[in-house]
Structure 1
Amino acid sequence: MKRYLLPLFLIIMLSFSSCDEENIANDSIVGEWEMKSASNGMTGALTDYSPGNGSIMKFTDSSYEIISNWQLTRSGLYSIVKETSNLDNKIYNRVVYDNETNSIKSFFKVENNLLYIWTDGNDGTSVVYRRK
Structure 2
Amino acid sequence: MTRALLLIATVCFLSACTKTDVLDGSIFGKYELRATYGGFSYHYDKFSPGNGSIFQFKSDSTYNRYAGDAIAASGKYHIKITNTEGGVRYGTIAFNTSDYREAFRIKGDTITIGTTVTDGIASEYVKLK
What TM-score does the superposition give when structure 2 sets the normalisation length?
A: 0.67
Query: 1:8 — aligned with what?
Result: none
CA distance in structure 2 between the aligned counterparts of 1:45 and 1:58, rounded to whole angstroms: 26
CA distance in structure 2 between the aligned counterparts of 1:126 and 1:46, rounded to whole angstroms: 10
Matched, 1:77 2:76: yes
Give the % identical residues.
26
Question: Which of the residues 104, 109, 113 maps onto 2:109?
Answer: 113
Matched, 1:127 2:123: yes
Count of aligned pairs between the two proteins:
99
Runs of at least 4 residues off by over 2 Å: 81-84
CA distance in structure 2 between the aligned counterparts of 1:47 and 1:107, rounded to whole angstroms: 19
Question: Which of the residues 26, 29, 32 maps onto 2:27?
Answer: 29
Contact 1:107-1:120 within 8 A present in 2 as well:
no
Alignment of 1:31-110 (within 5 A): 31-61=29-59, 62-82=61-81, 92-101=90-99, 103=100, 105-110=101-106
Deviation at 1:68, TM superposition (A): 1.5
Contact 1:94-1:107 within 8 A present in 2 as well:
yes
Please identify which structure carries the higher strand content. 2
CA distance in structure 1 between the aligned counterparts of 2:109 and 2:33, rounded to whole angstroms: 12
Distance 1:71 1:112, change over 3 A: same
What TM-score does the superposition give when structure 1 sets the normalisation length?
A: 0.66
Across the aligned residues of Structure 1 and Structure 2, the Cα RMSD in angstroms comes to 2.2
CA offset digits 1:90-119 (Å, max 9, x no partner): x94211111111x2x312111121111114
Contact 2:35-2:47 within 8 A present in 1 as well:
yes
Distance 1:120 1:37, change over 3 A: closer
Unaligned runs of 5+ in 1: 1-23, 85-90
Unaligned runs of 5+ in 2: 1-23, 84-88
Secondary structure of the 1:53 match is coil
Deviation at 1:83, TM superposition (A): 6.1
